[in-house]
Chains A and B, each alone.
Chain A
Amino acid sequence: MATLTTFAAAKMRFKDLQIEMAHGAGGKASRRLVEGLIAPILLESPDALGDAAHVAFGDTRLAITADCFVVRPLRFPGGSIGELAVNGTVNDLAVSGARAEALVTTFVLEAGLRREVLEAELRAMSAAASRAGVRIVGGDTKVVEHGDADGMYISTTGIGRLLADVVIDVRSVKPGDQVLLSGPVGDHGITILLARGDLDLEADLRSDTRSVLPLVEGLVAAAGRGVRWMRDPTRGGVATTLNELARDGGCGVVINEDDVPVHDGVRGACELLGLDPLHIANEGQLVAVVAPECAAEALRAVRAVPGGEHACVIGEVRAQPRGTVLAMTRYGASRVLDMLVGDPLPRIC
């Protein structure tokens, strides 16, 4: 989940009368809820929506974030709720420019949950944590009546140490900066959709859930302060992430649609269902904005990290159209790429 730091764009207002699934989809409605209701009431300076908050204690600066997971089904090709719960928080810290050091975790369990299901998730969390190089140091467990939760929900809170030589700040983004994407989009969302079995569709797809910290570290080692901004494009997909960039950075973003890597299985499912792969959730990808002079080196570095082989530059930052993302096609046509509206795929993470 997004934690809150600072920014200056016009605030969104929250006028809805009740909470609906769309408020959890990570798109426009989610942003409106956080920006228009939660942040103004809870936060001391309800400013920017970053992936993690950076807090100073004397001379020490730490990054902190929290994320919760309500995915259905609990297990799916390529991962499970436990693995997501670790990677999601590690990733939110990573894209804020921090290395996760410790996690605490909260379980909401439904009475009747099978012991082996819980145990499998605990083991998945433990394995994911050791892969990501983070310790799990504590947590809490609550149980609700049968029927009041869907198996289990997991929340994780992570604390991290800031990486040297990088400052992630959307206000540092400038026209000409290049937009880098670490790999194919939409694998996680479409995998979950197919794993539910509501559709008679099959595709050889796996969730991309993983820690993006190695990608971030490779990128930062190569480009340092040339890295201006990063995000992991989870719910709402790359399109929503780029819209947040355009809005918070007060800039335009223009991408070449054909440069965005998409697996055939994702593309096929999206064609059939009328979805846009750019709106589909990812759990192990990175979108980064880098200074133009560092772009080639940054791309080489990300591609050298295992899992980053398909990284590419998908577009660039422009002064105009301010606050808007445009997708260009190979034949010179363009379309506006908006944030996700509504909730095509509920409970994806």
Chain B
Amino acid sequence: MKFVDEFREPELIRKTADEIRRLADPKRHYRLMEVCGGHTHAIYRFGLKDVLPENIELIHGPGCPVCVLPMGRIDDGLAIAAQDDVIFAAFGDMMRVPGTTGSPLEHKARGMDVRIVYSPMDALKLAQANPGRQVLFFAIGFETTAPSTALTLMRARALGVRNFSVFCNHVTIVPAIRAILDSPDMRLDGFIGPGHVSTVIGCRPYEWIARNEGRPIVVSGFEPVDILQSIVMLLGQLQKHEARVENQYTRVVRWEGNAAALKAMAETFELRPYFEWRGMGFISQSALRVRDSYAQWDAERRFAVPGIRVTDPKAAQCGEVLKGVLKPAQCKLFGRECTPEHPVGALMVSSEGSCAAYYNYEHRKSVVMTDLGAPA
């Protein structure tokens, strides 16, 4: 724990915040996107907006795996799980995400066999422990979690476990960033790059942003000092009119990424020609599917998948919030029909979703910031 504490040191946080103030041109308004939901969570959790100058605006990006998953995919997964003898296994993050007829947790309350697992390996163990039943692992996540699904597929094949399959919803981050930059209503000055994803893919895939779009990107850690330091690095580049990829998270992220993880992914997955993202529509080559050589463990081939397409509730503006066009509180449903307890969209569910983070840590604060100050 001491390792983390260094990056929460108040003195260091104050110093870094001072440096941001020194670097930021007061005549200019900066719009910086934190791509990753983990950053969004940390920014609200640690109240970092309170220590930033007003002309630095943080825009929340699409890097929240359950948020970008279209409702139809959840319905598809639950439709498979509704068959006899199927156990539906997923990360805890997925459990409260609403499908058309309720979340996995609501289905569980009605009798579906839904299990929370902390790793895909746990789902495989579940299959070994229940040889008479089918275990469906509902795989979600960016390149962060895809390698562990890949290794589990390889393990399933090595062990010859036949009652295990993966319903693959893994997506890739770079096409999503590209889609955001293509969107005409978006003006961004730079990116706080995803930390966990970059441990796998490294920093090289972002170089096109710097080169072709002229936007700096700094791969960042998740502690308060990490995020503030990344903002310092972005401002430093912007001041000098540079646009490069930099790595703030050097204690974890290597420039080349993790070769073993990439190899496991290449062994088991291939790119889908296109995939639907919630609110952002179809993005080409933005998601992974299970390779033919692992077809036996691919739930989409083992089971009949209805292929449900559902549009989001009309009033919900998840797409605009995901792209950073709207702030969470600007959505018509925010805090009224849509709350963490009764989420309409997935952004209100996941701890990495910007709506949930905003609701939990920020909502109401703006209304009442009058006589604040630390208690005596």
Select one of A21, A274, A334 contacting B365, CB under 8 A.
Answer: A334
Q: Which chain A residue lies CB-closest to B12? A: A331
Does B205 lie at the interface of the complex (its beta carbon under 8 Å from any beta carbon of A)? no
Set B10, B41, B109, B341: member contacting A21, Cβ < 8 A: B109
Q: Is A67 an interface residue (CB 8 A)?
A: no
The answer on a CB contact under 8 Å between A256 and B375 is yes
State how many angstroms separate the Cβ of B362 from the closest Cβ of chain A: 6
Of the residues B224, B368, B376, contact of A252 by C-beta under 8 Å: B368
Q: Is the CB of A336 within 8 A of B371?
A: no
B364–A324 CB distance below 8 A: yes
Across the interface, name the chain B residue whose C-beta is closest to A341. Answer: B340
Q: Which of A261-298 contact B (CB under 8 A)?
A: 264, 267-268, 271, 274
Contact B109 A19 (CB under 8 A): yes
Contact (Cβ within 8 A) A329 B341: no
Contact A331–B51 (Cβ < 8 Å): yes
For the residues of B in contact with A, the DSSP-based class is helix
Residues of chain A within 8 A (CB-CB) of B122 are: 198
Q: Residue-by-residue, is A107-136 near B (CB-CB < 8 Å gives 1, otherwise 0)?
A: 000000000000000000000000000000
Instruction: Tell me, rounded to whole Å, the shortest Cβ–Cβ distance linking B121 to chain A.
Output: 10
Taking a contact as CB atoms under 8 Å apart, the answer to whether A334 and B368 are in contact is: no
Q: Is the CB of B367 within 8 A of A333?
A: no
A254 within 8 A of B: yes
Report the interface size class on chain B: 35 or more
B51 close to A334 (CB less than 8 A): no
Contact A271/B4 with A254-B375, A256-B374, A321-B364 known, Cβ cut-off 8 Å: yes
Task: Indicate if the CB atoms of B341 and A29 lie closer than 8 Å.
Answer: yes
Give the complex CA separation of A267 and B5 in angstroms: 11
Q: Contact partner of A18 among B41, B48, B109, B375, CB < 8 A?
A: B109
A254–B106 CA distance with the chains assembled, in angstroms: 35
Q: Does B40 contact A (CB under 8 A)?
A: no
Contact of A335 with B110 in the complex, beta carbons under 8 Å? no
> B368 and A324: CB pair below 8 A?
yes
Q: Is the CB of A318 within 8 A of B46?
A: no
User: Chain A residues with Cβ under 8 A from B341's Cβ?
Assistant: 22, 28-29, 32, 341-342
Docked complex: A311-332 residues within 8 A CB-CB of B: 315-316, 318, 320-322, 324, 326, 328-332
Binding site for A on B (CB under 8 A): 1, 4, 10, 13-14, 17, 41, 44-51, 92, 96, 105-106, 109-110, 118, 122, 224, 340-341, 351, 359-365, 367-372, 374-376
A residues lining the B interface (CB < 8 Å):
18-22, 28-29, 32, 198-199, 252, 254-256, 264, 267-268, 271, 274, 315-316, 318, 320-322, 324, 326, 328-336, 338, 341-342, 344
Q: Which 4 pairs across A and B sit closest by C-beta, in order of nearness?
A: A333-B47, A321-B368, A333-B50, A335-B361
What are 10 sample pairs from A and B whose C-beta atoms fall under 8 A apart? A18-B106, A267-B1, A331-B13, A331-B51, A331-B224, A332-B50, A333-B50, A333-B51, A335-B362, A341-B340
